């Protein structure tokens, strides 16, 4: 047996292994000359065996391996030890660029061969780079966390603090060392041991990965009483496991400011009410003695005339006139305060324009003659009738004419009346032109403002309160029109009143400031294109006592393409509903005096109004939380048979017998409803509270629900709320059954339910608005399913 081939076999076997290794390997002799290399080496460093073998390692590839670190390693470490591990070397190789190599060396003695050094080179460039990237990302994340001005705590799932950010340490005046690795409740001598926080972290966090805006009020020993808004996210953080990020926003100041705003608002509302009341009382107090002055002087005038005491009549007439003038001024002030309080109303009637103008002309004639002026009246032959508030039209004309007479001497005053067609509707246009002193542009701008005359000297010279034009303008605007003026100083003024020939009660336009067109020719105009007339089929009536909510709803619904009219009280709402016949009504539940339930009862008892869809809602102004009662319709107990039939026609399914669910805690009511419904061919299921109703709905989805609101266990509000959350039940119409003539106790219970909904599951302002829109969408779409049903009935 020849041992040599066997050795060769082993050598080639070893070479095979060496070549298979994917790490570059170099075999050196003790003089550091390359004995051999593996394939991976040649490939990695892009060199050939010929230029490698028997070369000193430092000379390889034109000296590219002449690296100080390597020299130290090979010449100082290898001679003294037979092994070295993970020597990291960073070097720019001419061919392959900058690399980070991890070197491992072994000194081996292989049989008869002299000792060789095996040098394994692992290229860790990529690994080092991603490690560096990762570190950068961590630093970056930490920087972000530290930059956030809100205090943040990172907790592990055992509620131990992993870290806090700078804001946390600063706000709570604690150091990282007394914070990290502590249980959150132990922080700052237990000042974080807050029951509400415990509930949050121990009950809510384990079951959900997010919670938002949890408000916490707590007396912190160091900081005092604070209101904190807590937000948390649970996140998976690699080898850190699951972490909870807790963000704490200090909203103490914000809440305080909100409270102050609310208080200021309340104070100003009280002040405003006090002012209105004062004006009302005052004007009454002033009017009573004036009535006596006017009345008695008139009476004495009559007596003096009878007894031929002519020397007295003239003086008595002056007393009467002055008294009447003073009375008129007081009435103006009262009118203006009424307009401001939104309490001025229109009394619409049809009247002949000729008669009205003749009447006004007769009244104004003495005043015109006083300054030696002449009055000319030019009326279009087709003037005819108009529908408006006659008293206000008369007053507006009288004010313009008396101004013209007052500011003109030995000139003329011309009153013209005509009909004009604009924007597809009929308008009545009055013009009062005079040849008087006229007005400059800056005076015109102030002209229609309350209590402002053209200037102070005018007041001295001509008298008056300066209220006439302001009132005229407000009256015109209330009737959906406006008054404009053109004037040239020294030559005269022309005032123009434009009013719709048929004024509707809802035509009030917004106050718009005068527009100055050029220096002496000024037009005061109200751009009515922004205030579209009420189109049939788009008008929604908003009944809410809170002006901010009315405004919010008005803006939102206008954007959605509805024409919006609003009422600030239940009584006004009912009146407007009768005039406007809106397509839907949004109704605030919580209103003083006549609350939403009373209005609802009145609406549903009125045969004309009972079919108008009502959306009951309420919102708490300062928190922005609100709720809508998701009902399709309302009926009052005891249920009227005719109304029930109409509701069934509108909402029940197309193929009877329709399954109908009656939810009421009173068994007698349930029984009577069942009888009525079964007579109409429906199949009735009963439930005595919300909880049982929900259970019953799981068995069978009804096509219609009749729902009582006040019930034990689960009330109707909560039930409606839950049903709305369920995707399959959301479309089931709910008809709320309320008591007719609610007692005080019932009303308190209803409103108590609303308040508890507001506190527990009330929705945000945006959600509320969307619910309103969804409800309106449902109403404005014709009920296709019931249309054929109705036709056959």
Q: Quick check: 278 binds another protein (CB under 8 A)? A: no
Q: Quick check: 298 binds another protein (CB under 8 A)? A: yes
Closest CA to 159 of 204, 225, 214: 204
Region near another protein per CB under 8 A, out of 295-303, 476-484, 734-742, 779-787: 295-303
Q: Quick check: 290 binds another protein (CB under 8 A)? A: yes
User: Which stretches does DSSP call E strand in 599-750?
Assistant: 614-619, 626-629, 633-637, 659-663, 683-687, 704-708, 734-739
For 360, residues 6+ apart whose C-beta sits below 8 A from its C-beta are: 394, 397, 398, 401
- Give least dist CB 292 to another protein, A: 4
Q: Quick check: 277 binds another protein (CB under 8 A)? A: no
Pick between residue 298 and residue 755 the one whose CB is nearest to another protein: 298
Query: Angle at Cα 150 formed by Cα 145 and Cα 152, nearest 5°?
Result: 55
Closest CA to 102 of 134, 131, 139: 131
Burial level of 687, CB count in 10 A (0-12/13-18/19+)?
buried
35-74 as b/e, with b when 16 or more CB fall inside 10 Å?
Answer: ebbbbbbbebbebeeeebeebebeebbeebbebeebeebb
- Give least dist CB 345 to another protein, A: 5
Pick between residue 347 and residue 511 the one whose CB is nearest to another protein: 347
Q: Quick check: 606 binds another protein (CB under 8 A)? A: no
Q: Quick check: 140 binds another protein (CB under 8 A)? A: no
- Give least dist CB 636 to another protein, A: 23
**H or E segment and range at residue 278:** helix 252-306
Pick between residue 260 and residue 302 the one whose CB is nearest to another protein: 302
CA distance 401 to 495: 9
Region near another protein per CB under 8 A, out of 7-15, 345-353, 416-424, 707-715: 345-353
Region near another protein per CB under 8 A, out of 13-21, 188-196, 281-289, 477-485: 281-289
Q: Examine residue 572 and say whether the peptide bond preceding it is cis (omega within 30 degrees of 0).
A: no
CA distance 570 to 591: 8
- Name residues contacting another protein, limited to 545-564 (CB under 8 A): none
Pick between residue 166 and residue 338 the one whose CB is nearest to another protein: 338
Pick between residue 343 and residue 559 the one whose CB is nearest to another protein: 343
- Torsion over CA of 762, 765, 769 and 775, rounded to 10 degrees? 0
**H or E segment and range at residue 317:** helix 310-340
Region near another protein per CB under 8 A, out of 38-46, 79-87, 287-295, 562-570: 287-295
Q: Quick check: 347 binds another protein (CB under 8 A)? A: yes
- Name residues contacting another protein, limited to 322-341 (CB under 8 A): 327, 331
Region near another protein per CB under 8 A, out of 187-195, 285-293, 743-751, 765-773: 285-293
**Ramachandran region, residue 487 (left: φ > 0; alpha: ψ -120 to 50; beta: rest):** beta
Q: Examine residue 420 and say whether the peptide bond preceding it is cis (omega within 30 degrees of 0).
A: no
Q: Quick check: 306 binds another protein (CB under 8 A)? A: yes
Burial level of 477, CB count in 10 A (0-12/13-18/19+)?
buried
| Helices and strands, number each (H, E), in the chain | 25, 27
Token readout for 760 is 């527990």
Q: Quick check: 662 binds another protein (CB under 8 A)? A: no
Pick between residue 55 and residue 331 the one whose CB is nearest to another protein: 331
Pick between residue 338 and residue 773 the one whose CB is nearest to another protein: 338
- Give least dist CB 540 to another protein, A: 24
Q: Quick check: 387 binds another protein (CB under 8 A)? A: no
Pick between residue 343 and residue 695 the one whose CB is nearest to another protein: 343
Token readout for 696 is 């019953």
Pick between residue 389 and residue 715 the one whose CB is nearest to another protein: 389
Pick between residue 324 and residue 385 the one whose CB is nearest to another protein: 324
Q: Quick check: 295 binds another protein (CB under 8 A)? A: yes
Pick between residue 174 and residue 294 the one whose CB is nearest to another protein: 294
User: What DSSP string describes 470-524?
Assistant: HHHHHHHHHTT-EEEEEEETTTEEEEEEEEESB--TT--------B--SSS--B-
CA distance 7 to 287: 134
Token readout for 329 is 């001024």
- Give least dist CB 356 to another protein, A: 16
Q: Quick check: 321 binds another protein (CB under 8 A)? A: no
Q: Quick check: 285 binds another protein (CB under 8 A)? A: no
Q: Quick check: 284 binds another protein (CB under 8 A)? A: yes
Q: Quick check: 345 binds another protein (CB under 8 A)? A: yes
- Give least dist CB 294 to another protein, A: 6
- Give least dist CB 576 to another protein, A: 13
Tell how far CA 201 is from the center of its chain. 30
Among 34, 197, 248, 346, binds another protein (CB under 8 A): 346
Please measure the distance between the N-terminal and C-terminal CA atoms of the chain and give it in whole angstroms: 116
Region near another protein per CB under 8 A, out of 47-55, 299-307, 524-532, 684-692: 299-307
Pick between residue 294 and residue 684 the one whose CB is nearest to another protein: 294
Q: Quick check: 291 binds another protein (CB under 8 A)? A: yes
- Give least dist CB 291 to another protein, A: 4
Q: Quick check: 308 binds another protein (CB under 8 A)? A: no
- Torsion over CA of 57, 59, 60 and 62, rounded to 10 degrees? 160
Region near another protein per CB under 8 A, out of 129-137, 158-166, 289-297, 652-660: 289-297
For 34, residues 6+ apart whose C-beta sits below 8 A from its C-beta are: 26, 27, 28, 52, 53, 54, 55, 56, 57, 60
Region near another protein per CB under 8 A, out of 30-38, 164-172, 296-304, 667-675: 296-304
Burial level of 770, CB count in 10 A (0-12/13-18/19+)?
middle
For 483, residues 6+ apart whose C-beta sits below 8 A from its C-beta are: 396, 400, 448, 469, 472, 473, 476, 495, 496, 497, 498, 524
Token readout for 413 is 């005053």
Among 58, 296, 351, 729, binds another protein (CB under 8 A): 296
- Give least dist CB 300 to another protein, A: 10
Pick between residue 287 and residue 770 the one whose CB is nearest to another protein: 287
Q: Quick check: 471 binds another protein (CB under 8 A)? A: no
DSSP state at residue 308: T
Q: Quick check: 299 binds another protein (CB under 8 A)? A: yes
By CB under 8 A, the count of residues binding another protein is 21
Pick between residue 267 and residue 309 the one whose CB is nearest to another protein: 309
Region near another protein per CB under 8 A, out of 164-172, 236-244, 282-290, 748-756: 282-290
CA distance 167 to 160: 18
Pick between residue 349 and residue 666 the one whose CB is nearest to another protein: 349
Among 204, 210, 292, 309, binds another protein (CB under 8 A): 292
CA distance 394 to 430: 11
- Name residues contacting another protein, limited to 157-186 (CB under 8 A): none
Among 85, 288, 311, 457, binds another protein (CB under 8 A): 288
- Give how far Cα 395 sits from Cα of 468, 469, 485, Å: 9, 10, 17
Closest CA to 694 of 723, 666, 672, 715: 723
Token readout for 279 is 């004006």
Region near another protein per CB under 8 A, out of 238-246, 342-350, 556-564, 782-790: 342-350
Pick between residue 327 and residue 516 the one whose CB is nearest to another protein: 327
Residues at the interface with another protein (CB under 8 A): 284, 287-288, 290-292, 294-296, 298-299, 302, 306, 327, 331, 343, 345-347, 389, 391
């Amino acid at each position: 047996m020849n041992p040599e081939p066997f050795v060769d076999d082993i050598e080639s076997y070893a070479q095979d292994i060496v070549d298979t290794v994917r790490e570059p390997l170099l075999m050196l002799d003790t003089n550091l000359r390359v004995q051999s290399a593996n394939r991976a080496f040649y490939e990695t460093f892009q060199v050939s065996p010929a230029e490698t073998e028997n070369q000193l390692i430092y000379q390889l590839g034109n000296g590219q391996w002449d690296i100080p670190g390597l020299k130290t390693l090979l010449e100082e470490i290898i001679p003294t030890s037979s092994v070295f591990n993970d020597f990291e070397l960073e070097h720019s190789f001419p061919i392959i660029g900058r690399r980070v190599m991890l070197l491992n060396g072994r000194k081996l003695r292989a049989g008869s061969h002299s000792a060789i050094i095996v040098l394994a080179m692992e290229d860790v460039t990529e690994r080092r780079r991603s490690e560096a990237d990762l570190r950068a990302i961590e630093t970056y994340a930490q920087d972000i966390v530290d930059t956030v001005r809100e205090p943040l705590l990172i907790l592990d799932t055992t509620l131990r603090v992993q870290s806090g950010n700078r804001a946390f340490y600063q706000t709570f005046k604690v150091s990282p060392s007394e914070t990290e690795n502590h249980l959150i409740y132990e922080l700052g001598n237990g000042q974080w041991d807050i029951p509400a926080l415990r509930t949050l972290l121990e009950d809510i966090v384990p079951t959900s990965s997010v919670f938002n805006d949890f408000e916490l009020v707590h007396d912190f020993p160091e900081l005092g009483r604070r209101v904190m808004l807590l937000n948390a996210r649970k996140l998976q953080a690699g080898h850190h496991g699951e972490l909870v990020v807790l963000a704490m926003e200090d909203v103490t100041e914000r809440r305080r400011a909100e409270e102050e705003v609310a208080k200021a608002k309340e104070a100003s509302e009280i002040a405003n009410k006090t002012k209105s009341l004062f004006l009302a009382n005052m004007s009454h107090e002033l009017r009573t003695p004036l009535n006596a002055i006017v009345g008695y002087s008139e009476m004495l005038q009559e007596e003096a005339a009878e007894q031929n005491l002519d020397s007295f009549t003239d003086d008595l007439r002056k007393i009467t006139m002055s008294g009447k003038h003073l009375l008129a001024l007081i009435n103006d002030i009262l009118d203006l305060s009424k307009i401001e309080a939104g309490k001025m109303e229109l009394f619409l009637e049809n009247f002949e324009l000729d008669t009205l103008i003749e009447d006004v002309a007769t009244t104004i004639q003495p005043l015109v003659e006083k300054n030696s002026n002449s009055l000319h009246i030019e009326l279009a032959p087709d003037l005819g009738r108009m529908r408006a508030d006659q008293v206000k039209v008369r007053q507006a004309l009288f004010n313009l004419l008396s101004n013209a007479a007052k500011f003109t001497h030995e000139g003329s005053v011309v009153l013209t009346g005509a009909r004009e067609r604009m924007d597809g509707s009929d308008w009545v246009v009055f013009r009062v032109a005079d040849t008087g002193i006229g007005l400059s542009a800056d005076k015109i701008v102030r002209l229609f403002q309350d209590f402002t005359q053209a200037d102070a000297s005018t007041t001295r010279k001509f008298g008056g309160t300066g209220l006439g034009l302001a009132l005229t303008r407000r009256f015109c605007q209330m009737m959906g029109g406006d008054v404009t003026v053109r004037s040239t100083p020294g030559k005269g003024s022309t005032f123009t009143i434009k009013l719709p020939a048929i004024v509707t009660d809802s035509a009030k336009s917004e106050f718009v400031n005068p527009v100055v067109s050029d220096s002496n020719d000024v037009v005061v105009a109200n751009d009515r294109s922004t205030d579209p007339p009420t189109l049939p089929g788009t008008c929604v009536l908003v009944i809410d006592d809170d002006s901010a909510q009315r405004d919010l709803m008005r803006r939102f619904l206008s954007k959605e393409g509805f024409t919006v009219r609003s009422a600030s009280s239940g009584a006004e709402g009912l009146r407007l509903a009768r005039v406007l016949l809106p397509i839907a009504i949004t109704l605030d539940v919580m209103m003083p005096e006549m609350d939403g339930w009373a209005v609802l009862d009145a609406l549903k008892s009125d045969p004309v109004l009972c079919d108008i869809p009502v959306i009951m809602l309420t919102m708490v102004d300062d928190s922005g939380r609100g709720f809508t009662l998701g009902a399709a319709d309302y009926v009052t107990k005891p249920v009227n048979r005719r109304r029930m039939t109409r509701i069934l026609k509108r909402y029940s399914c197309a193929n009877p017998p329709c399954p109908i669910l009656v939810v009421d805690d009173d068994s007698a009511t349930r029984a009577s409803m069942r009888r009525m419904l079964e007579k109409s061919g429906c199949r009735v299921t009963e439930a005595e509270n919300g909880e049982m109703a929900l259970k019953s709905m799981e068995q069978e989805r009804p096509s219609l629900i009749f729902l009582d609101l006040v019930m034990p266990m689960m009330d109707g509000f909560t039930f409606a709320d839950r049903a709305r959350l369920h995707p399959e039940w959301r479309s089931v119409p709910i008809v709320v059954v309320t008591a007719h003539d609610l007692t005080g106790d019932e009303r308190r219970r209803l409103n108590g339910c609303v308040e508890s909904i507001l506190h527990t599951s009330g929705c945000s302002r945006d959600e509320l608005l969307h619910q309103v829109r969804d409800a309106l969408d449902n109403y404005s779409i014709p009920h296709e399913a019931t249309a054929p049903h109705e036709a056959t009935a």
